[in-house]
């Protein structure tokens, strides 16, 4: 169990990193859709990876420290895996611009659902 002070610090860090990560993904996705080269350059990719690694570490720390084992956590992780896969398609792997755009919109939808599950602490998220 984590102390209340550590919990607050981890939670605020996690929420801030979520905001940074999603904002950077949105910017990179819009850049990729417009045909810009910078979203795939090492600096942009490296920053994204660095933010996401620390984000993952804070999330794991919260889950372990709070001994979270509710039914909503695997659902949240499922949305995360879908977001990562769709984000990869949106930024690089989809063969056409239309497919990249669709993957981008679907990835942002996954984030929306992931946030809903996390906020509600319920597998149905916004629909609970």
Domain ranges of the chain: 4-127
Query: Closest by alpha carbon to 44, among 105, 91, 98?
Result: 91
Contact between 37 and 89 (Cβ < 8 Å): no
63, exposed or middle or buried, with CB in 10 Å at 0-12, 13-18, 19+? middle
Identify whether the C-beta of residue 48 lies closer than 8 Å to the C-beta of residue 21.
yes
Pick the range with the lowest mean pLDDT from 10-14, 36-40, 66-70, 82-86: 66-70
CA 46 to chain centre: 15
**Predicted local distance difference test score (pLDDT) of residue 67:** 76
Does pLDDT of 78 surpass 90?
Answer: yes
pLDDT at 4: 86
Between CA 12 and CA 76 the distance in angstroms is 18
Tell me if 73 sits within 8 A of 117, measured CB to CB.
no
Kindly indicate the confidence band of residue 90, based on its pLDDT and cuts at 50, 70 and 90: very high
Is 80 exceeded by the pLDDT of residue 68? no
Q: What is the average pLDDT score of the chain?
A: 94
């Amino acid at each position: 169990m984590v102390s209340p002070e550590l919990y607050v610090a981890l939670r605020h860090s996690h929420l801030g990193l979520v905001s940074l990560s999603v904002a950077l993904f949105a910017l990179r996705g819009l850049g990729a859709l417009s045909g810009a080269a910078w979203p795939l350059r090492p600096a942009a990719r490296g920053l994204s990876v660095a933010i996401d690694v620390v984000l993952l570490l804070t999330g794991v720390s919260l889950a372990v420290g709070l001994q979270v084992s509710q039914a909503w956590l695997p659902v949240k992780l499922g949305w995360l895996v879908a977001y990562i896969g769709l984000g990869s398609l949106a930024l690089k792997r989809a063969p056409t611009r239309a497919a990249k755009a669709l993957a981008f919109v679907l990835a942002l939808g996954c984030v929306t659902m992931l946030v809903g599950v996390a906020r509600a602490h319920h597998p149905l998220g916004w629909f609970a």
